[in-house]
Amino acid sequence: MLENLITTTTTTTASLSVTNESFALCSAVSLALGALISFTFCFKQRKSKGLILALTILPLIVQVIIMMVNGNVGTGVAVMGAFSLVRFRSVPGNAKDICGIFLAMAVGLATGSEQLILASVFTVIVCAVALAYTFSPLGNAKTSLKELHVTIPESLDYNEVFDDIFEKYTSYSELISTKTTGMGSLYKLTYDIKLKDVKDEKKMIDEIRCRNGNLEINCSKKAEDPDAL
């Protein structure tokens, strides 16, 4: 019985051994596909070097782990225990970043199983689709909202003080927030507006300045994150 166990273990280990040539080939493919994924998901995007590096080397890391635990239950349990001790802390990522990370992990799983053609074809298809959506206008905002911050004295009624001006220069306006400042002597108002003509922004601000006593006015593009989950 002991001899059978030794023979079975030896045969399994031999069948699962990874040659230097196969490891080098799989590693090269993992790095190449990781670089392609990194380029695709960071193209025309402001991404950190950390994310670029992670997308590039993540397939290689997953590949090595899969090669180590392939068919070895004991090693697989040990690796799972080691990963359970690691707590990952990160700022929330957007949908595109998460898709890139999952793609890199999937590629690592494929190359770790020596399915190089499958990994390559899968990566090329996904990256092509991602680039097509990057260049397409799908999901882009048709109109851009602006955020208007206006400071007014407490003597003005902020509910209707600028209604006639907004009706003249904007096609959409909404009071978002009201905040007191200067020991309650001033109000800071925040509006979401959409100008009828962007060239009229200065004219609108000039009329608001006449209305609010030349106090502070700030008009800027509304910050949005359409990629957030």
The answer to whether residue 226 is domain-embedded is no
- Phi/psi for 181 (5° steps) reads -150, 170
Is residue 25 located within the same domain as residue 93?
Answer: yes
Say yes or no: 151 and 123 in one domain. no
Q: Identify the residue whose tokens are 């069948």.
A: 15
Per-residue pLDDT, 45 = 77
Digit-coded pLDDT (tens) for 115-161:
899 999 999 999 999 888 888 776 565 557 889 999 999 888 888 88
The number of domains in the chain is 2
Which segments of the chain have a pLDDT < 70?
1-17, 71-93, 138-143, 223-229
Among 74, 104, 135, the domain boundary falls at 135
Same domain, 25 and 131: yes
The secondary structure of residue 200, as a DSSP letter, is G
- pTM of the predicted structure, to 2 decimals: 0.60
End position of a domain, from candidates 135, 161, 188: 135
Residue 29 and residue 116 in one domain: yes
HEC profile for 73-135? HHHHHHHHHHHHCCCCCCCCCCHHHHHHHHHHHHHHHHHHCCCHHHHHHHHHHHHHHHHHHHH
Q: Is residue 14 part of a domain?
A: no
Please say which residue of 110, 135, 160 terminates a domain: 135
What domain range includes position 186?
146-221
Residue 175 inside a domain? The answer is yes
How much is the pLDDT for 5? 35
Q: How far apart are CA 49 and CA 38, in angstroms?
A: 10
How far is Cα 160 from Cα 194, in angstroms, rounded to an integer?
18
